[in-house]
């Protein structure tokens, strides 16, 4: 189970999916267009791919202790950002 930054990313990704789904949600009287369904499926795949990449890269970093300082957290997040950009 992820904690800290990893959990925040997963929660953020889940929230992004929910917001996009609500934004594209058609009223009950209108069927979902095929193009909208394809767009949502592509977005869902990209989000899942990103979350998987994020988890894989975060595991490669040292685990933050429960008493990590703000400087430790900042260093950890910046290191993860470098890994994500270079992936």
Please give the average pLDDT of every successive group of 10 residues along the chain, which has 87 residues: 56 64 60 85 95 94 93 95 93
Residues 47 and 29: their CA atoms lie apart, in Å, by 29
pTM greater than the 0.85 cutoff: no
Residues 52 and 67: their CA atoms lie apart, in Å, by 27
Residues 69 and 61: their CA atoms lie apart, in Å, by 16
pLDDT at 33: 85
pLDDT at 1: 46
Q: Helices 34-59 & 70-86, crossing angle to 10 degrees?
A: 120
Who contacts 16 (Cβ-Cβ below 8 Å, separation ≥6)?
47
């Amino acid at each position: 189970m992820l904690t800290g930054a990893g959990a925040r990313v997963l929660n953020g990704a889940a929230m992004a999916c929910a917001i996009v789904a609500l934004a594209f949600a058609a009223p009950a009287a209108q069927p979902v267009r095929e193009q909208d369904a394809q767009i949502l499926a592509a977005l869902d795949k990209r989000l899942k791919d990103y979350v998987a990449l994020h988890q894989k890269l975060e595991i490669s970093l040292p685990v933050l202790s429960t008493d990590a300082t703000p400087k430790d957290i900042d260093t950890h997040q910046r290191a993860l950002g470098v890994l994500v950009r270079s992936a």
